[in-house]
Amino acid sequence: MFDTLSDRLSATFKNLRGKGRLSQQDIDDTLREIRRALLEADVSLQAVRPFVAAVRERAEGTEVSKALNPAQQIVKIVNEELVAILGGETRRLRFAKNPPTVIMLAGLQGAGKTTLAGKLARWLKTEGHTPILVAADLQRPNAVTQLQVVGDRAGVPVFAPEPGNGVGNPVKVAQDSIDFAKAKMHDVVIVDTAGRLGIDAELMKQAADIRDAVKPDEILFVLDAMIGQNAVETALAFQDGVGFDGVVLTKLDGDARGGAALSVRAVTGKPVMFASSGEKLEDFDVFHPERMAGRILDMGDMLSLIEQAEKAFDAAEAEKMAGKLVRNEFTLDDFLKQMEQLKKLGSMKKLMGMLPGMADVKQQLNEIDDKDVDRIAAIIKSMTPGERDDVKIINGSRRQRIAKGSGTTVQEVNNLIERFLEAKKMMQQMARGGMPGMPGLPGAGALGGTKRKSAKAKAADKASKSKGRSRSGNPAKAKAEEAARQARRDGNGSLFGGDDGNGQFELPEEFKNLLPPK
């Protein structure tokens, strides 16, 4: 969504690189481009003016003039002001001292409010709460049914005593839901109210009546991030008519310019609390101003990436896989498990976009096809257990069968097998004493990698080794020296240790923590 804004800001900052000192003209030109970039991204003029003024005040002060790298200092200032305009700090939900906590959702029809209710309920469930959804939207056709479907997908019960489609009293439904939640021990109540096609006075009054009846702990205004400049007008109307405590942005994965995220907080003073960026119930996150500013300025969002990885990957399974890698027992079954865990993280394009500096490879990111993971899974699942354990037995006829069974081509099967064998070969090299050409590792090449030794140096090495292998004239001493050399070969001379004296292979202590517990 912020691609246009990010591209314009990145191009602006590139013009400052390499300058040891910034003139007044440089600052004026930079601020002019920043202003244009924000306005083109549909950021409200009410938000742009104070933002540019704050950046100018800091850029014209000693903060930049005395900086060793003025260009980087300008980027730092813009980043900090973006964080400020987005809310400064992450705003968390306020929970009632005496449950249930009541959360009321309000917004225009079509903003994705009902789906958002399911996403919020699912997120609260993962946080250890026991939420319930309340179908208080009795105006829109099939709104009650839709909420029931969403609730079923989220694994959250739905309180829906009325059929909807114009039938029933939404205020009474909201009131009764509180007693139902107390009786059934639900600690959070999420009330889905009727949406509006516009600023409808009658429906606005209905939302106000529901607010007065249930006295919610939080009122969340659900805002479609794609409506651009209209976001400010709509938010102000809801603030006057109903009031709200925080904003939830939906459809952040769209192709709109994203100005709503920067406008609403600056104009209404209410923080953005959550962000929805997809159709799946998992596509829902707490809104972090500093992380969003980092994405806009192409600084990445590593914290969000790490958090998603921690949720998707099982620590015990990862430890088990590490042990298999050390013992060279990694198979295609293990590879498939890793691929399936990776898929839980979401779209590869989205994940790569969280890395710093991805703006320069945006075209390559657009070419990423998430279906490649499904094709790889189909190929592996079309193999027999024996073929997954040992890919070397997969001959031509087997490859044709696998390709036919997975709906792929023989070439795609060949590519997967070749890549897997290359990975295993690298693991074997590491197990034998480190990666070739890596200085400082046992078994590695000399500094400089593939640099060849001169003939003189080779002769000197040969002479040194020959001298080192000279035997003593004393038979007893010679036998003792040979035993010592054998011990070094079997034990300390190897990266992975040697015999423990009982005929069993023994790993050094620093590698034992990679193995799964016995």
Among 178, 183, 134, smallest CA distance to 156 is for: 134
Average pLDDT over the chain, rounded to an integer:
75
Residues with Cβ within 8 Å of residue 157, at least 6 apart in sequence = 132, 133, 151, 184, 186
**Mean pLDDT, residues 79-91:** 84
Q: How far is 73 from 59, CA to CA, in rounded Å? A: 8
| Domain locations along the chain | 3-85, 101-299, 310-433, 479-518
**Mean pLDDT, residues 130-148:** 92
Q: Of 351-355, 386-390, 442-446, 482-486, which has the strongest mean pLDDT?
A: 386-390
Residue 439 pLDDT: 37
Residue 82 pLDDT: 85
* Residue 2: other Cβ atoms inside 10 A: 21
The pLDDT confidence band at residue 191, using thresholds 50, 70 and 90, is very high
> Domain 310-433 belongs to what topology?
434 Repressor (Amino-terminal Domain) (1.10.260)
Backbone torsion region of residue 180, taken as left when φ is above 0, otherwise alpha when ψ lies between -120 and 50, otherwise beta? alpha
CA atoms 471, 475, 481, 487: torsion sign:
positive
> Domain 3-85 belongs to what topology?
Four Helix Bundle (Hemerythrin (Met), subunit A) (1.20.120)
Q: How far is 428 from 421, CA to CA, in rounded Å? A: 10
Query: Could you give the angle at the alpha carbon of 32 between the alpha carbons of 27 and 34, nearest 5°?
Result: 95
Q: How far is 125 from 129, CA to CA, in rounded Å? A: 5
* Residue 457: other Cβ atoms inside 10 A: 10
- pLDDT digit string (tens) for 373-421? 788 889 999 999 899 888 889 999 999 999 999 999 999 999 888 888 7
> Domain 101-299 belongs to what topology?
Rossmann fold (3.40.50)
CB 132 within 8 A of CB 154: no
As annotated, the binding site includes 107-114, 192-196, 250-253
Could you tell me which residue, 432 or 264, shows the higher pLDDT?
Answer: 264
Residue 199 phi/psi, 5-degree rounding, is -80, 85
**Mean pLDDT, residues 119-147:** 93
Q: Is 284 exposed, middle or buried (0-12, 13-18, 19+ CB in 10 A)?
A: buried
CB 385 within 8 A of CB 336: no
- The structure's pTM equals 0.59
Q: Which two tokens stand for residue 405?
A: 């069974």
* 1 has pLDDT over 80: no
CA atoms 132, 96, 269, 210: torsion sign:
positive
* 313 has pLDDT over 80: no
Residue 2 pLDDT: 64
Q: Which two tokens stand for residue 132?
A: 């319930």
Strands 284-286 and 272-276 come out as antiparallel
DSSP code per residue over 308-343 = HHHHHS-HHHHHHHHHHHHTT---HHHHHHHHHHHH
> Which has the minimum average pLDDT: 29-38, 95-104, 447-456?
447-456
Q: How far is 59 from 53, CA to CA, in rounded Å? A: 10
Q: How many CA atoms lie within 13 A of 152 on its CB side?
A: 7
Cα 5 to chain centroid distance, Å, stands at 21
C-alpha to C-alpha distances, 108 to 54, 113, 225, 239, nearest whole angstrom: 33, 8, 12, 13
- pLDDT digit string (tens) for 464-480? 444 444 454 555 556 66
Residue 399 pLDDT: 93
C-alpha to C-alpha distances, 367 to 295, 340, 364, 469, nearest whole angstrom: 20, 21, 5, 59
As annotated, the binding site for GTP includes 107-114, 192-196, 250-253
Could you tell me which residue, 8 or 185, shows the higher pLDDT?
Answer: 185
Q: How far is 109 from 338, CA to CA, in rounded Å? A: 40
**Mean pLDDT, residues 235-261:** 78
* Residue 118: other Cβ atoms inside 10 A: 25
